[in-house]
Amino acid sequence: MKRILLLLTAVLMAATASAQEGAYSPDSGLPYWAPGRGEVDHEALRRRALVVLEREFGAFNDATGHLAQTAVAYCDAGAPREDLIAAFRDTWLAWAPLDSYHFGPVEANAAALTVNFWPDKKGFVGRALRELLAQPPEAQRDPATVAAGSAAAQGLPALEMLLYTEAPECPAVIGISAYLHQTAETLYADWFDPDGWADLARAAGPNNPVYLSAAEFTKTLYTALDFGLIRIADQRLGRPLGSYERSYPQRAEAWRSGLTVDIIGAQLDGIADMIEHGFAGDIREPDRAWVLQVIGQARSRMDKIGAPIADAVADPAHRIRVEGLQTKVNDIRSVMAQDIGPNLGVDTGFSPADGD
C-alpha cells in the first residue's frame, strides 16, 4: 500500500510539473489539469465533444444516404443484394454510438424510436410493416407514406424484418431507407446548423433555456454515456439473457441479421471515443487510461463469445461468456461513477432508463 501511495504521489507531482511547464492545449485538453486544481474546463470539453458528435452524426447521415441509393439500385436496377445488406449493416453500426445520446434533437425528433424501435415488446414492428405492405407499390416507395405511419415501420428493425424474412423487400425497402435518410439529415441539421443544438450548448449561460452553464452540458454527456452502458448491460445483454432457467434468444436486438454483438461493439467504441477525444484531458490521465482499458477488456470479452448472442444465451458454455461481458459493462459504469464523474464534478441526471 505504501508503495502505491508513493507511486501515486510521484504521478501527481509529475502531473503538476507538466501542467506548469507545458502550455495547456484546449484542443486536446492536455496536459491534464493538476489534480486538486478543482477545475474542469467545461468549455474546452464541449468544443471537443461537439467535434466527436458532429463526426458521428455525419457518419450516420452518410450511411443512410448510401443505403437509400443502394435500395433504389437493388430494387430498380438489379444491383447485387450483398450491396444492400452491407449498406444496411453499415447504417446500423453508424447509428449504434448515437443510441447513447437520447437528448436534444434525438429526443425532439423521437429518433431513438423511429430509427431503432427496440425493444419491441408487443410485436409493433410486424404489425406496422404489414400495414405498410398493404399499401400500393407507389405508396410503399414514398418516404411520405412511411412518415405518416407508425414509428415501428420507420427504421432499422423494420428494414431488418424485410431483409431477413419472407416479406417482399421491394419497394418498401426504398421508402423506409429514404425516410431513414431524411431522419438522419434532420438530426444532423438540428444539431449542427446555425442556431441548432450545438449552438445552444455553446451559448450555455444563465439565460439559456436548457444549459444554465457549460457544466450542465458536460453533465448531459456524462449521463448519456452512462445511459448507453445501461442500454448495453440491461437491455442489449440482459433481455436475451433472462435467467439461467429461461433465456430469450429472440429478445436479442437484431437477432435476425446477427448484428447484435457488432452493435454493442460499435456503441462501446462510441463511448470510448467520447471519453478519449471529448472528455480527453479534462479527466486525469490515469483515470482516463483506466476506464479506456476497462472498455478494452469488455471489447475483448465480446470478441471471445464465439457465437451470435441469440444462440449464446441459450447455450450454457457460451452463456457464461455473455454474462461475463455484462459484468464487465457494469464494471465500466462503476469506474465511470467512481472516477470520471467526480473528476468532471458531475453526477448522472435523468435518462429514459428511469422509466420501466
Binding site for another protein (CB under 8 A): 107, 110, 113-114, 120-124, 126, 128, 148-152, 210, 212, 219, 226, 230, 242-243, 246, 248, 250-251, 330, 333-334, 337-338, 341-342, 345, 347-356
Residue type at position 259: L
Give the whole-angstrom CA distance, residue 89 versus residue 85: 6
Cβ of residue 136: shortest distance to another protein, in angstroms? 18
E-assigned strand segments in the chain:
none
Closest contact distance (angstroms) between CB of 234 and another protein is 8
Rounded Cα distance between 179 and 159, Å, is 11
Residue 198 beta carbon to another protein: minimum distance, rounded to whole angstroms = 18
Of 226 and 311, which CB lies nearer to another protein in the complex structure?
226
In angstroms, the CA 229 to CA 225 distance is: 6
Closest to another protein by CB, 87 or 187:
187
Q: Give min distance, CB of 150 to another protein, in A.
A: 5
Whose Cβ is closer to another protein: residue 141's or residue 251's?
A: 251
Q: Which is nearer to another protein, 83 or 234 (CB)?
A: 234
CA atoms within 13 A of residue 51's CA, in its CB half-sphere: 14
Between 46 and 102, whose beta carbon lies closer to another protein?
102
- Determine the residue type at 138: E
Which grid coordinates are listed for 320? Answer: 457464461
Which is nearer to another protein, 37 or 127 (by Cβ)?
127
Please write down the long-range contacts of 206-213, taking CB distance under 8 Å and 24 or more positions apart: 213/42
What single-letter DSSP state applies at residue 353? G
Q: What is the dihedral of CA 345, 350, 353, 356, to 10 degrees?
A: 140
Nearest 5°: phi and psi at 25?
A: -105, 115
How far apart are CB 264 and another protein at their closest, in Å? 18
**Smallest separation, CB 75 to another protein (Å):** 26
